[in-house]
Every structure is written in structure tokens, then in C-alpha cells.
């Protein structure tokens, strides 16, 4: 199980979701992906995308304009 | 006898029709997954992230919301690059504004057709309703979409299927035609009744559809962009910037993009390496991007217009900082332009 990061800063939704989706497709079950964005819409959209596609958000935070969401890849 | 569960992909825009169309097919035991194409012009997403007043209540992405209501997977596909050809050279022309609706639908169905072939799905679902849209959803144009996309009889429009020839899924008995619908025209009542029957509430009903290209003001800005460049082309940054700020073209060779509030100013500041900027320093005021090459006279004109939108609009003089694309700055003092001198024809 490995940890990865994805820089999705300055991208507007749904682009952070698309980048997350495409990166997750390359990862293995149990891997984690930390997505860093600046669009606060990602706080809604990435968890929604995870719920419908069988992945898990293990943490999310917002600090000084940066939104950081960590996704654990599921086996869906 | 073991029967194979058939699989369909539904084009999900986030609106009510595609939600109902997917649900109608799921009700018949078909495995459905959603697909959503991001063209860059989608009303869903991004603009809510720019304006500060909208940040307090982030807008949901309705395509994701629809998929969650249906309990299906959603595949969001970035088609920004491929879509340019649809916007720039639509073989069926534009609708009322810059909306290439017929080519757009054909393109999306074609992409969905490629997707089902790659993913071993059986057919495609759309929420189209005959007679609902003046360009793409007419009795004579709906067969064009099926034909030109290559989807042919694998394209099912569950909400108006009974008005159309039987598709392969209907002929093969994967779908019972009698359980599909005969909606037509612009009325929304049948959809609202079906939504109630299925127990859907709080669904999105965007008045102008889901695309900025159906918007008159937005279309005017694209036309201006192309006219100023002397060619029909755009990048994603161009079409994002058309959604933000006041656009004023005081001379043919340059345009100003003036932030209307803090959120827009912050957004525009992210483009400081691509554009020269003007920021008022003696008074609170907007950040302005200058799109085009400018000389000293142009800079003064741009500064006077920008100052007019600052808190110093009635002051005798306003100081502004001009910064070129290389990051070299200079301070200049200007007289804010009176409203009477702001030519209406400059407004893009």
C-alpha cells in the first residue's frame, strides 16, 4: 500500500474530481491519495465522487485557501 | 436458464431528464452506470468557486448528485480539447447563440458509444425528449444524432421511446417498450410527475440548460474574443476568464477584465504571469487584467477605466500600479474616468 499526492491547485471543479478519478484508476486497493486543491467545491465533490465509486475519504481539511482531501482507494 | 444482465451507460447532465431516463432503465433490471462529459462550458461547477459571496454555500455538482440518488457509478470525462472542434466548426451550425447543440449531442453520444465498446456495455441512454429543444431534440434531428454518432439502434431515449422506432434493446427484449415513455414537447409536467412517482425531490432544473454557450452574454464575449484575435480558437483559460469580471474593450487591440469583488480579484490575480495587470493603490479597488499588447497611452486609458471602478472613483487622482507580464511594475496617477465618458460600445 502506497501513498501518493496530487496537485490540483487552481483547477475548478469538476477538474479536481476528474484528476482524482484518473489517478485513482492507476492505483491499487488500499493505496491512499492526497489531493491538494484550491477550489472549495472539491470538499463536496470529491467525497460525493468517492461515495458513488466505492472509495473512502479518510481526511479532509481547509487551510489558508488550500483544500486537502485524502482518499483511500476501494475495491469497487 | 441463466440470463445475462445487460449493461447500459447513461449520459448524465445533472438535470431531471437524464436522471429519469437512467432510472426508467434501471427499473427494468439493467445495470446502469453514468457518464458525464466536461467541455469547459458546463454550468456545473467552478463559477461558484470564484465569487466570494458564493463560497459560503458551495454549489453541489448535480451530475454527482444524480448518480448518488440513483446509486450508480459516474465516469466524468474531460473532453475540453476534443470539444473545441465542435464549438469552432459545428457542421450543423449554431442555435440561437453560440450553442452547437446538434453537433454537441452527436459528439457526446459518439464518445459514449466508444466508451461502451471499450467497456463491454450493451447500449446508451439519454434523457432526450422529442420536441423539447429547438435544435437537437426534434423528430427530424434525433435520428441524425443516432446516425452520425455511430450509435444507431444502440441509442435509447427512454422518455420518448414510444415515439421513435424500436431500438435494438427493445427488439431483443432487453427492455420492454411498453414500460418506456411517450413524453414530447416542452412541457415539464410528465417529468415532474414521474420524478414524484420515483420519489425524487430537490432535483436541478436549470432554466437555460447546462451550458454557457446557450447564454447570450457569454456568446457575445466569445464572438468578441475571436474577432479580436482574427481567428476562431480558445484555450481553457480563455473560456474560464469569460465567466469572470467586467469585460471592457476600449480599443480594438486590448480588453480589460475587471474584478467585481474580492473573490474575482483573487481569481484574476492567478493570471498575473499571463497578463499585464492594474491595481489601484491609493484606494481600494479592483484587479484588472489587460488582454492585449499596450503602449503608455493605452495603459493610461486602462488605468483611468480601472480607477472608475475603485473607491476613488470621485477622487481627483487615483494612484495605480501597472505590472507587465514580466513582473516589472510602475506607479502612475490618473484621473478616474467619468461614467459619461465610458462608451457603452466598449462593454463586451
Q: Write down the mean pLDDT value for chain B.
A: 92
CA-angle at A35, arms to A29 and A39, nearest 5°: 140
With a CB cutoff of 8 Å and minimum separation 6, the contacts of B75 are: A21, B9, B33, B34, B35, B36, B115
For residue B45, what pLDDT is reported?
A: 55
Tell me the pLDDT tens digit for each residue of B37-82.
Answer: 999 988 765 555 566 666 555 568 899 999 999 999 999 999 999 9
Identify the pLDDT of residue B135.
73
Residue B71 at interface with chain A, using a CB cutoff of 8 Å:
yes
Q: Which of A57-61, B2-6, B338-342 has the lowest mean pLDDT?
A: B2-6
The CATH code of the domain at B7-212 is 3.40.50.620
Q: Residue B274 and residue B296: Cα distance in Å, rounded?
A: 19
For residue B38, the cross-strand partners are B78
In tens, the pLDDT along B163-184 reads: 999 999 999 999 999 999 999 9
Structural domain count, chain A: 1
Active site residues of A: 13
Query: Helix A15-24 and helix A42-53: axis angle, to 10°?
Result: 40
Is the CB of residue A21 less than 8 Å away from at least one CB of chain B? yes
Grid cell 499526492 is found at A5
Q: Is B64 within 8 Å of A18 when comparing Cβ atoms?
A: no
Report which DSSP code applies to B173. T
**What is the pLDDT at residue B335?**
97
- Chain A, nearest residue to B48 by Cα: A41
Place of cell 492526497: A34
Helix (DSSP H) and strand (DSSP E) numbers for chain A: 2, 4
> Are B45 and A18 in contact (CB < 8 Å)?
no
A45 and chain B: CB distance < 8 Å anywhere? yes
In Å, how far is B177's CA from the nearest CA of chain A? 29
Q: What is the pTM of this model?
A: 0.89
pLDDT tens by residue, B310-326 = 999 999 999 999 999 99
A74 interfacial to chain B (CB closer than 8 Å): no
DSSP letter string, B22-43: HHHHHTTT-EEEEEEEE-S-BS
- CA pair distance A23, B55, nearest whole angstrom: 27
The minimum CA-CA distance between A40 and chain B, rounded to whole Å, is 7
pLDDT tens, position by position, B87-122 = 999 999 999 899 999 999 999 999 999 999 999 999
Q: Kindly report the CATH number assigned to the domain that includes residue A38.
A: 3.30.110.40
| B280 pLDDT higher than 90 | yes
Does A22 have pLDDT greater than 90?
A: yes
Residue B18 has pLDDT above 70, yes or no: yes
Percent of chain B with pLDDT over 90: 77
Domain that holds residue A49: 3-72
Which whole number is the average pLDDT over B295-303? 97
Residue extents of the structural domains in chain B: 7-212, 244-346
**Spatial distance between the Cα atoms of B260 and A40, rounded to a whole number of angstroms:** 20
From the list B15, B42, B97, the residue with the least C-alpha distance to B243 is B42
Amino acid at each position: 500500500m502506497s501513498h501518493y499526492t496530487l496537485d490540483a491547485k487552481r483547477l475548478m471543479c469538476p477538474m479536481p474530481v476528474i484528476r482524482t478519478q484518473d489517478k485513482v484508476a492507476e492505483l491499487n486497493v488500499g493505496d491512499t491519495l492526497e489531493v491538494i486543491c484550491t477550489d472549495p467545491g472539491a470538499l463536496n465533490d470529491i467525497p460525493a465522487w468517492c461515495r458513488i465509486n466505492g472509495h473512502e475519504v479518510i481526511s479532509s481539511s481547509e487551510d489558508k485557501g488550500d483544500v486537502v482531501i485524502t482518499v483511500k482507494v476501494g475495491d469497487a | 436458464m441463466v440470463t445475462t444482465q445487460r449493461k447500459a451507460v447513461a449520459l448524465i447532465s445533472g438535470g431531471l431528464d437524464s436522471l429519469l431516463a437512467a432510472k426508467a432503465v434501471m427499473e427494468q433490471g439493467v445495470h446502469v452506470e453514468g457518464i458525464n462529459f466536461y467541455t469547459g462550458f458546463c454550468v456545473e461547477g467552478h463559477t461558484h468557486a470564484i465569487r466570494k459571496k458564493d463560497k459560503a454555500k458551495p454549489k453541489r455538482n448535480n451530475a454527482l448528485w444524480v448518480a448518488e440518488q440513483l446509486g450508480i457509478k459516474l465516469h466524468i470525462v474531460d473532453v475540453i480539447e476534443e470539444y473545441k472542434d465542435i464549438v469552432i466548426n459545428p457542421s450543423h451550425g449554431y442555435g440561437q447563440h453560440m450553442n452547437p447543440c446538434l453537433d454537441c449531442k452527436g459528439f457526446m453520444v459518439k464518445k459514449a458509444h466508444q466508451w461502451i465498446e471499450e467497456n463491454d456495455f450493451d447500449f446508451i441512454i439519454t434523457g432526450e425528449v422529442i420536441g423539447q429543444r429547438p435544435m437537437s431534440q426534434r423528430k427530424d434531428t434525433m435520428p441524425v444524432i443516432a446516425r452520425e454518432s455511430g450509435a444507431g439502434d444502440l441509442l435509447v431515449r427512454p422518455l420518448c421511446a414510444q415515439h421513435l422506432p424500436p431500438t435494438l434493446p427493445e427488439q431483443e427484449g432487453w427492455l420492454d417498450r411498453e414500460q418506456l415513455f411517450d413524453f414530447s414537447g416542452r412541457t415539464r409536467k410528465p417529468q415532474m410527475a414521474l420524478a414524484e412517482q420515483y420519489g425524487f425531490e430537490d432535483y436541478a432544473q436549470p432554466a437555460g440548460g447546462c451550458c454557457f454557450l446557450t447564454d447570450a452574454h457569454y456568446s457575445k464575449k466569445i464572438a468578441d474574443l475571436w474577432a479580436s484575435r482574427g481567428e476562431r480558437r480558445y484555450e481553457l483559460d480563455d473560456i474560464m476568464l469569460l465567466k469572470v469580471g467586467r469585460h471592457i474593450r476600449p480599443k480594438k487591440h486590448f480588453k480589460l477584465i475587471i474584478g467585481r469583488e474580492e473573490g474575482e480579484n483573487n481569481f484574476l490575480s492567478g493570471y498575473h504571469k499571463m497578463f499585464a495587470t492594474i491595481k489601484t493603490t491609493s484606494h481600494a479597488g479592483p484587479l484588472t487584467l489587460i488582454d492585449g499588447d499596450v503602449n503608455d497611452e493605452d495603459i493610461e486609458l486602462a488605468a483611468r477605466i480601472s480607477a472608475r471602478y475603485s473607491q476613488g472613483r470621485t477622487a481627483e487622482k487615483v494612484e495605480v500600479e501597472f505590472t507587465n507580464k514580466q513582473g516589472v511594475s510602475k506607479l502612475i496617477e490618473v484621473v478616474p474616468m467619468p461614467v459619461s465618458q465610458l462608451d457603452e460600445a466598449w462593454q463586451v
